[in-house]
């Protein structure tokens, strides 16, 4: 008796795209390697920039890995993992965003031949995780703790190293002092928002100004502003979050009056309320009034008559920096203003910077905030300078917190590679080959730094391997003299956290991509609307929030 042919079981809706198995895994690796090839040339002091054109008005020139990865707008689901690790590296430590992407790509490339030979992905993942744990221990062992007396020099060298590969590298000594000054002013929390970076076109990079205090661009002003004082010694500063402006009422209120003469009394009452606010502010003794909301023409003229300065619509982050610098507290009412909420500093002045005027609060008693006004030629140039400064500030911030350092220039990666290669010879089986492949992949950092500088990478890597085999653990690529040198002695320092985060994030991303063996591309179906014509079973499915596609009729 012939067997009955069973009807096929349809699990996924029509049009769903599925791909699985080894070809899918290799396809994901190839996609990631293509992304890595895009940012590969941006690594190191001689890295090239990328121009990302989005529209006529939005063109970005940058060699910051995280910025380029975000702007590429990658749609491949596996390759997006690399975007995520670049973002996490940027938010966690600030620098090393290109390194982490390149390392992840090289780890994947190292795993590819093993996959093609039939080794199970989970065996590779276990070996890579073991190698990562060994690398972490070795980085902690290599790290050098910095003593408090050498802290300033240590921070400046870390700031300079972060700027080596950036657009502002030729001015790194000027900016590294500025960055360290800014970070050293902050309290132990090291809140990044307390360092304001303003951009002002014109002049050269070294015309940039560092202000130990708070500064913001002059806000919108009304008539009467010209008569206000532009320089006040030892000002008393009041920060508000209220609107000081007479305006037409738009509420749907209705007031009925029987006597037309009472209308004037209503108007007078409104004016009295407004002037009572202004008098209360004047009575507080403050002579610099800042508000997050608008300060109108009537209030501006009132303050000018009283020889007081005012600024409305001050951006919230600038107002917070002023409060931190001067000790003021933002008030939501003008009644009962006590002396403790009024801030003070040594000098308030309005100063011309480029084509704009800035309000500066300096000589503060307990300065815990700083502002950097960046100058430069083009808008894109200043934007890239700001990104470079952000990386440097983040590095110095981390270095100040963790106080340990390793050498840059590929020295740490070469030492890790040598250590893991030696370790792999002490074990047997597939794991030996896999850890050896992981060790070789780490060499991509010095190799890429060398390639990007136009040097012979094979020759330089052979010299580095020789030095590290002799126990010279700090030898890395010498960009200046086209060779190798002791990068620790040369002052190319990086916080230990940068290296730790790079290796861990790259390994985790690699393991994640290797663990994916199937991709299901499923366009989200629209939920059918519950209506009287819909069956009870369908309505129940909608109520549960599941099974919608099963009931989607033709």
Q: Does 345 lie in the same domain as 392? A: no
2 lies in a domain? Answer: no
Q: Residue 527 domain-assigned?
A: no
Mean pLDDT of 472-480: 88
DSSP one-letter string for 470-536: TT-TTEEEETTTTEEEETTTTT-EEEHHHHHHHHHHHHHHHHHHHT--EEEE-PPPPPPPP-TTS-H
Sheet holding 347-353, edge to edge: 214-217, 356-362, 347-353, 231-233
Helix ranges restricted to H, 327-453? 379-402, 411-424, 430-442, 444-453
Residues 140 and 50 placed together within one structural domain of the fold = yes
Residue 439: pLDDT band with limits 50, 70, 90: very high
What is the rounded distance in angstroms from the CA atom of residue 38 to the CA atom of residue 444? 15
What is the C-alpha separation between 315 and 291, in angstroms, rounded?
A: 9
- Does 263 have pLDDT greater than 80? no
- pLDDT of 527 higher than 60: no
412 and 497 housed in the same domain: yes
Same domain, 239 and 343: yes
pLDDT classification of 252: cutoffs 50, 70, 90: low
3 part of a folded domain: no
Alpha carbons 154 and 172: distance in angstroms, whole number: 15
Counted domains in the chain:
3
Q: Is the pLDDT of residue 158 over 90?
A: no
**Does residue 371 carry a pLDDT above 60?**
yes
User: pLDDT digit string (tens) for 16-34?
Assistant: 555 667 888 888 888 888 8
Give residue 494's pLDDT band: very low, low, confident or very high (50, 70, 90): confident
At 400 the pLDDT is 82
Residue ranges making up the domain that contains 161: 148-212+372-402
Domain check: are 377 and 311 in the same one? Answer: no
User: Does residue 542 carry a pLDDT above 60?
Assistant: no
In this structure, are 132 and 55 located in the same domain? Answer: yes
Q: What CATH code is carried by the domain that includes residue 287?
A: 3.50.7.10
User: Which residue in this structure is represented by tokens 């940027």?
Assistant: 90
**CATH code for position 178:** 3.30.260.10
- Where is pLDDT greater, at 9 or 31? 31
What CATH number does the domain containing 66 carry? 1.10.560.10
- Sign of the dihedral through C-alpha 242, 244, 250, 254: positive
Confidence of residue 539 (pLDDT cuts 50, 70, 90): very low
Average pLDDT over residues 266-282: 82
Residues 295 and 379 in one domain: no
State the average pLDDT over residues 535-549: 40
Q: How far is CA 400 from its chain centroid?
A: 18
For residues 126 and 52, state if they share a domain: yes
Mean pLDDT for the stretch of residues 320-332: 88
- Residue 468 falls within a domain, yes or no? yes
Helical ranges in 171-312 per DSSP H: 172-185, 261-283, 297-305
Would you place residue 436 in the very low, low, confident or very high pLDDT band (cuts 50, 70, 90)?
very high
Domain check: are 227 and 355 in the same one? Answer: yes
CA distance 393 to 496: 16
Same domain, 346 and 228: yes
Higher pLDDT, 60 or 414: 414
Where is the domain boundary, 350, 384, 402?
402
Domain-terminating residue out of 402, 421, 450: 402
Is 345 within 8 Å of 335 (Cβ atoms)?
Answer: no
Q: How far is CA 443 from CA 109, 410, 509, 523, in A?
A: 13, 8, 18, 41
Residue 309 lies in a domain: yes
Q: Are 504 and 85 in contact (CB under 8 A)?
A: no
In a domain, 537, yes or no: no
**pLDDT of res. 86:** 86
Residue 520 in any domain: the answer is no
- Tell me the C-alpha distance between 221 and 192, whole Å: 30
Distance between CA 270 and CA 488 in Å, rounded?
A: 70
Which segment, 26-30, 195-199, 200-204, 413-417, is predicted with the most confidence on average?
A: 413-417
Same domain, 334 and 224: yes
Instruction: Identify whether the C-beta of residue 32 lies closer than 8 Å to the C-beta of residue 108.
Output: yes
Last residue of a domain, one of 339, 366, 393: 366
Judgement on whether residues 188 and 114 belong to the same structural domain of the protein = no
Specify if 415 maps to a domain.
Answer: yes
């Amino acid at each position: 008796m012939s067997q009955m042919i069973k009807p096929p079981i349809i699990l996924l809706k029509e049009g769903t795209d599925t791909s699985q198995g080894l070809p899918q895994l290799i396809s994901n690796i190839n996609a990631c390697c293509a992304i890595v090839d895009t940012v590969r040339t941006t690594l190191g002091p001689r890295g090239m920039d990328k121009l990302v054109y989005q529209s006529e008005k939005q063109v970005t020139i940058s060699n910051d890995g995280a910025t380029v990865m975000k702007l590429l707008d990658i749609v491949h689901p596996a390759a997006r993992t690399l975007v995520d690790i670049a973002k996490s590296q940027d938010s966690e430590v600030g620098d090393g965003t290109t390194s982490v992407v390149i390392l992840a790509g090289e780890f994947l490339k190292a795993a590819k031949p093993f996959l093609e030979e039939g080794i199970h992905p989970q065996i590779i993942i276990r070996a890579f995780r073991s190698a990562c744990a060994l690398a972490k221990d070795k980085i902690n062992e290599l790290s050098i703790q910095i003593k408090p007396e050498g802290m300033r020099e240590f921070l400046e060298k870390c700031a300079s190293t972060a700027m080596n590969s950036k657009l502002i590298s030729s001015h790194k000594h000027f900016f590294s002092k500025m960055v360290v000054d800014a970070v050293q002013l902050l309290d132990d929390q090291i809140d990044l928002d307390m360092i304001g970076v303003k951009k002002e076109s014109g002049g050269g990079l070294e015309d940039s100004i560092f202000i130990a205090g708070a500064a913001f661009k002059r806000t919108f002003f009304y008539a009467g502003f010209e008569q206000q004082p532009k320089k006040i010694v030892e000002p008393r500063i009041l920060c508000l979050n209220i609107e000081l402006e007479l305006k037409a009422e738009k509420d749907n209120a209705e007031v009925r009056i029987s006597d037309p003469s009472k209308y004037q009394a209503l108007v007078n009452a409104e004016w009295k309320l407004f002037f009572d606010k202004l008098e209360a502010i004047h009575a507080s003794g403050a002579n610099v009034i800042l508000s997050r909301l608008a300060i109108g023409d009537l209030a501006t003229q009132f303050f000018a008559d009283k020889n007081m300065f005012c600024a409305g619509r001050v951006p919230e982050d600038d107002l917070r920096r002023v409060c931190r610098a001067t000790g003021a507290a933002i008030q939501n009412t003008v009644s009962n203003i006590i002396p403790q909420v009024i801030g003070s500093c040594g000098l308030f002045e309005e100063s011309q910077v480029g084509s704009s005027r800035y309000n500066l609060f300096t000589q503060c008693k307990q300065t815990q905030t700083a502002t950097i006004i960046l100058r430069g030629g083009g808008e894109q140039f200043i934007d890239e300078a700001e990104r470079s400064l952000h990386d440097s500030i983040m590095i110095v911030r981390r270095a100040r917190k963790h106080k340990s350092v390793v050498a840059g220039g590929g020295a740490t990666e070469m030492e890790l590679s040598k250590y893991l290669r030696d370790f792999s010879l002490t074990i047997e089986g597939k794991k030996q080959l896999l850890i050896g492949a992981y060790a070789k992949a780490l060499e991509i950092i010095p190799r890429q730094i060398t390639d990007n500088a136009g040097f012979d990478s094979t020759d330089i890597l052979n010299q580095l391997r020789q030095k590290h085999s002799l126990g010279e653990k700090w030898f890395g690529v010498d960009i200046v003299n086209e060779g190798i040198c002791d990068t620790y002695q040369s002052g190319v320092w990086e916080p230990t956290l940068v290296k730790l985060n790079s290796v861990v994030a790259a390994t985790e991303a690699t393991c994640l991509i290797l663990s994916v063996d199937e991709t299901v591309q499923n366009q989200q179906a629209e939920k059918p609307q519950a209506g009287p014509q819909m069956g009870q079973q369908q309505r129940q499915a909608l109520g549960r929030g599941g099974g919608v596609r099963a009931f989607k009729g033709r």
